[in-house]
Structure 1
Amino acid sequence: MQILLSDTLFSNGVILRDHGIVFDKTIIEVSPNDELRSRYGEQCTELGEGSVLVPGLINSHVHLEFSANRSTLTYGEFMPWLSSVIAARDELINECDESCTSKAINTMLTNGITAFGAVSSYGFDLEPCFKAPQKVVFFNELIGSDPQMADALYSNFQERLFASQELKRDGFYPSIAIHSPYSVHRILIQKALKYAREKHLRVTAHFMESPAEREWLGSNSGAFAPFFQNFLKQTQAANTAEEFLSYFRDSPTLFTHAVQASDKELSAIAEGNHTIIHCPISNRLLGNGVLDLKSLEENTIRFVCGTDGLSSNYALDLFEEMKVALFIHPNEDLLSLAQQLWQSVTAHAAEALQLNCGKIAPTFDADFLVMRVSYPINDQLPIHLITQPHTIESIYINGDKIQ
C-alpha cells in the first residue's frame, strides 16, 4: 500500500486541492492530505507544491503498423493520402519492425498514455502490444468487399484474431475492428459481429471519415468511384450507411471519425448506444472536416479522443490532440470543452473500452500520472493542463510506478 499527498487532484471533472490517495493495485481511498497524514504519518509521500494527480490517459484509436511514416505520405485531401498509403504500404510496413512499434508504444507511455486501443490490420504489432506495459484493447481488423474473396479474407481475419486470443495477460483484450462500410462485405460484417457478441468482444469501426465516403455510400459516385472501379472492379458500394449501422444495433461500438455523418446516421448511433472517436489532427491533415460536437450533444452521443496512427498524425500525444481540439471548435465554451476533452481521454474512454480505469476513485485501477506545473492552480486547470507547459514526473499502472 502506498500513500501520495498532492497539491491538487483532478479527476472526473472535479478539482480537489490538498488531497491524496491510498492505493495498491487499485485506488483504496481519496482524502484530504491532513486526514491521511494523521492516520499514516511517515508512510505518506509528499509530492509538494505544483503537483497534480490525474488519471492515466487513454488513446482510444491508434494504428501502430504505420509508425515508420514521417514524410512519405501525402496530406491535404483524403484520396491523395489513400493513394499514397497504397503506394507506400509495403515499404512502410517493412520499415516498422517490432522495435519501431515498441518505440511508438513507449512514446505514448512517455506522453502519459496508460491504455490504448490498437487497430491491427496485419497482426505485425501483436507481440509488441502484448508486451506493452499499458492496458491494450487489441482490435483485429476485418477488411474486404469482394464477395468472391470472402472466405479467404475471413480466414485471414480469424487467424489473426485467434492468435491474439491465445495470448493471456491482465490488461490485454483481443477485440474486433470492422474497417469501414465501403471496404467490408455485409456477409463478413455480420459473421464477425455474431462472433463478437458470442465471445463478448469489444468492437470498433471507421465510419463517415471523408467527403469521398459520403458520396460513394450515398450515390455510388464521387472520388471513390474511379478508385473502386480501377482497384476492385466495383461500381457499387458494399453497403449503404443505413445498412452498415443496422448491423451494429446489438453491438455497442466505437465509431471512429463520423465527421461526415448525417443527422439520421447520428440518430442511429445514439439509438445503438455507440461512441464516436474524435481524431482532430488526423481529420485536419486529411482534409475531412471537423466533427460537429453540437450535433453529438443534441443526440446525446458520447465522444472520446484518439490520435489515429502516424500515417495521419505527427505525434502520438493526447495532450497535443486536446490542444488542437480546443482551437478547431471555436464556438464551444472553452472551459466546458476542456472538461469534455479530459473526460474523453480518461473516464469516458475507459467506459467505452470497458476498462476499470480513467478515474482516481476507490475500486478503480491505480492508473494515474503525477504531473508538475509551475503556475497558480485555479478553476481553469483543465484548460491550463492542455495549453501550458507541464512535466509528467511519474506514471503508475495498476499501482506500479512504470516511469
Structure 2
Amino acid sequence: MTANTIITADTRINARWLIPVEPRAVVLEHQALIIQGSRIAAVLPQTEADQTYRTRETLDLNQHVLLPGLINLHGHTAMSLFRGMADDLPLMTWLNDHIWPAEGRFVSEQFVMDGARLAMAEMLRTGTTTFSDMYFFPEVTAQVAHDTGMRAQVCFPLMDMPTVWGSGPEEYLHKGAGLIEQWQGDDYIMPAIGPHAPYTVADDPLKEAVALSRRTGAALQIHLHETAFEVEQAVKASGIRPVSRMQALGVLGENTQCVHMTQIDDSDLAALSASGTHVIHCPESNLKLASGFCPVDTLQQRGINVCIGTDGAASNNDLDLFGELRTAAMIAKAVAGDAAALSAHRALEMATLNGARALGRSDELGSLLPGKLADLIAVDLSDPFLQPVYDPASHLVYSNHGRAVSHSWIHGVPQLQDGRLTRIDVPDLMLRVEAWRKQILS
C-alpha cells in the first residue's frame, strides 16, 4: 500500500478507549474501528485512520469505551414473563411448586414469542449481542432471534417427562434433530441440544443426545451440580457423582457446556479438565436460589474454560450481564480468599472470548480483531457515577451497569443507537407483556 492509498469502508467508530480482549489486559486510547460489511476491517489509531480510510458513516464516541459484544451463555429467555413471580424460595420448591405448574398453564408458542422478544430487548439494551437459550418451542425463539438480527445458541429441551413441547424423549429428540437441520450453518442461529439435568434425563436419552451431537456437531448444554442436594441424591441413589455419570455416558467433552457447577471436588475437576468441557457460571441465580458458589479461580487454574450466564429472569431477576460480571468477580475473590482471584480483564474475558470459545466460534467472535465479525458495543463512561476514569476495565466490571451501554452492532448492523433499540417495537412489546401479566395474575 502506498502512502496515498485511500480505502473506502462502511463505518468508522472513533472511541476514547477500546478494549480488544485480545491481547489480554490491554486498553487502547483514541482508536478508530472500521467496519466493512459484517466484519471488522481494522483497528488503528485515529490519526492513522484519518490518512487511510474514507467511510460512509463516522461516529464519534469521545467519552465511550468500545469492546466486543457480550455473550450470555445460559438463560431461559421466555421466562422473562415470569420475572418476580416466585421469589425467595429454594430451587426445588421454586421449580416443583411454582415454575413447572405455571409453565404447564401458560407456556405456548405465543408466550415464547413475546417472552423471548422481551428478553432480547433487555439483553440488547444492556450489552449482550449473543445469547444461549434453553426452553420450550425453541423453533420460535430461533425465528425471533433471527428476525431481530441477534446471535443465539438455541438449545432444544430434553427431559424424561412430558411438557408443553412434547410427550417425552423420543419426540424431543425428533423435533430437535429437525431444529438442527433447519438452522445449522446459519449466520445467527446455532442450534444445540439441551438435556435439562441429570435428575430429569435417564441414561438412554442422554446417550442419544451424545450421538446426535457427534453426528451433527451441535453443542450440548446441561444443568450440572447446581446444588448440594442434587449431588447428594445422586450419590445416594447410584453411588456416583453426576459428573462421573456424565463422563461414563460420554456427555463431557469439548462440545459440552455445563451450567452452574457449584459443587466440585477433585474428581470433578479432573474429569472436566481432561475432557475439555466448558463451565458456565451463573452467580446471581445461584445466590438467589441459595444453590452455592462456583469455584471460578480453581477452575481457571486447572485450565477449564469458564463462561458466564444470567440464567432466566425468573431466578435472577434481570439479564444485565455487566451486573453479573460484578457479582462474579466479587464472589470469586471471596471463595478463593484472594482479592486478585478474578481481575476485571479476566471477568470481561469470561463474557466475551471465553463464551466464543465455548460456542466454537472464537475465530469470529469475542474480541475486536480485524477479520472478526462486527459484534461490538459502546459504553458511555461520562456519567458522574463513573467519574473519574483511571481504568475503563475496572469501571466496566465494578462501577458500571448495563444501562450505560449506548450503542451496539451485530454482524455490522446497528442494534442500539444512543440507547434506543432499532429492531424491536418496544411500545407494542409492552402492550403484549401487560396482557400476559394480567392473564397470569388471573
Question: TM-score, normalised to structure 2's length?
Answer: 0.80
1:34 matched to 2:51: no
Contact 1:209 / 1:260 at 8 angstroms: preserved in 2?
yes
Matches of 2:183 and 2:55 in 1, distance apart? 41
| 3-state SS, counterpart of residue 107 of structure 2 | helix
Q: Which residue pairs with 2:381 in the alignment?
A: 373
Q: Which residue pairs with 1:17 in the alignment?
A: 29
AA paired with 1:89?
E
Could you list the per-position Cα deviations for residues 144-179 of structure 1 after superposition, in whole angstroms to 9, with x for gaps in the alignment? 179xxx994222332144145324742111111122
Choose from 404, 410, 413 the match for 1:391.
404
Matches of 1:304 and 1:386 in 2, distance apart? 15
Q: Please report the RMSD computed on the Cα atoms of aligned residues, expressed in angstroms.
A: 2.6
AA paired with 2:352?
T
Indicate how the Cα distance of structure 1 residues 392 and 121 shifts in structure 2: closer, same or farther if over 3 A, else same: same
Could you list the per-position Cα deviations for residues 23-47 of structure 1 after superposition, in whole angstroms to 9, with x for gaps in the alignment? 2111111111111112236867352
Q: Which residue pairs with 1:60 in the alignment?
A: 73
Larger mean CA deviation between 266-275 and 167-176 belongs to 167-176
Could you list the per-position Cα deviations for residues 185-224 of structure 1 after superposition, in whole angstroms to 9, with x for gaps in the alignment? 111111111111111111211110011101111113xxxx
1:159 matched to 2:175: yes
Could you list the per-position Cα deviations for residues 303-353 of structure 1 after superposition, in whole angstroms to 9, with x for gaps in the alignment? 110011122111011011112223323334359432121001111111111
Q: Which residue pairs with 1:173 in the alignment?
A: 190
Contact 2:227 / 2:262 at 8 angstroms: preserved in 1?
yes
Q: Which runs of 5+ in 2 are unaligned?
A: 1-8, 417-442
Indicate how the Cα distance of structure 1 residues 323 and 58 shifts in structure 2: closer, same or farther if over 3 A, else same: same
Contact 1:182 / 1:238 at 8 angstroms: preserved in 2?
no
Matches of 1:237 and 1:92 in 2, distance apart? 38
1:192 matched to 2:192: no
Q: Which residue pairs with 1:225 in the alignment?
A: none
Q: Which residue pairs with 1:100 in the alignment?
A: 115
**Pairing 1:241-320 to 2, within 5 Å after superposition:** 241-246=243-248, 247-250=250-253, 252-320=255-323
Indicate how the Cα distance of structure 1 residues 42 and 139 shifts in structure 2: closer, same or farther if over 3 A, else same: closer
Matches of 1:55 and 1:327 in 2, distance apart? 22
| Cα offset, 1:266, TM superposition | 1.7
Matches of 2:157 and 2:291 in 1, distance apart? 22
Percent same amino acid among aligned pairs?
Answer: 23
Matches of 2:344 and 2:207 in 1, distance apart? 38
AA paired with 2:304?
I
Matches of 1:42 and 1:192 in 2, distance apart? 48
AA paired with 2:245?
E
1:202 matched to 2:215: no
| Cα offset, 1:369, TM superposition | 0.9
Matches of 1:151 and 1:316 in 2, distance apart? 30
1:143 matched to 2:159: yes
Contact 2:224 / 2:258 at 8 angstroms: preserved in 1?
yes
| 3-state SS, counterpart of residue 396 of structure 1 | strand
AA paired with 2:20?
S
Indicate how the Cα distance of structure 1 residues 249 and 164 shifts in structure 2: closer, same or farther if over 3 A, else same: closer
Indicate how the Cα distance of structure 1 residues 48 and 293 shifts in structure 2: closer, same or farther if over 3 A, else same: closer
| Cα offset, 1:92, TM superposition | 4.8
Contact 1:57 / 1:345 at 8 angstroms: preserved in 2?
yes
Matches of 2:67 and 2:413 in 1, distance apart? 15
Matches of 1:251 and 1:48 in 2, distance apart? 39
Matches of 2:243 and 2:265 in 1, distance apart? 10
Matches of 2:398 and 2:253 in 1, distance apart? 39
Larger mean CA deviation between 242-251 and 56-65 belongs to 242-251
Choose from 13, 17, 20 the match for 1:8.
17
Indicate how the Cα distance of structure 1 residues 245 and 7 shifts in structure 2: closer, same or farther if over 3 A, else same: same
AA paired with 2:374?
A
Q: Which residue pairs with 1:50 in the alignment?
A: 63
AA paired with 2:367?
K
Larger mean CA deviation between 53-62 and 251-260 belongs to 251-260
Choose from 142, 147, 153 the match for 1:131.
147
Question: TM-score, normalised to structure 1's length?
Answer: 0.87
Matches of 1:310 and 1:15 in 2, distance apart? 32
Contact 1:185 / 1:239 at 8 angstroms: preserved in 2?
no
Contact 1:252 / 1:272 at 8 angstroms: preserved in 2?
no
Indicate how the Cα distance of structure 1 residues 301 and 167 shifts in structure 2: closer, same or farther if over 3 A, else same: closer
Larger mean CA deviation between 82-91 and 277-286 belongs to 82-91
| Cα offset, 1:48, TM superposition | 4.4
Contact 2:225 / 2:242 at 8 angstroms: preserved in 1?
no
Indicate how the Cα distance of structure 1 residues 22 and 97 shifts in structure 2: closer, same or farther if over 3 A, else same: closer
Matches of 1:8 and 1:105 in 2, distance apart? 27
Indicate how the Cα distance of structure 1 residues 250 and 388 shifts in structure 2: closer, same or farther if over 3 A, else same: closer
**Pairing 1:352-363 to 2, within 5 Å after superposition:** 352-355=358-361, 356-363=364-371
AA paired with 2:405?
I
| Cα offset, 1:377, TM superposition | 3.5
Indicate how the Cα distance of structure 1 residues 109 and 46 shifts in structure 2: closer, same or farther if over 3 A, else same: closer
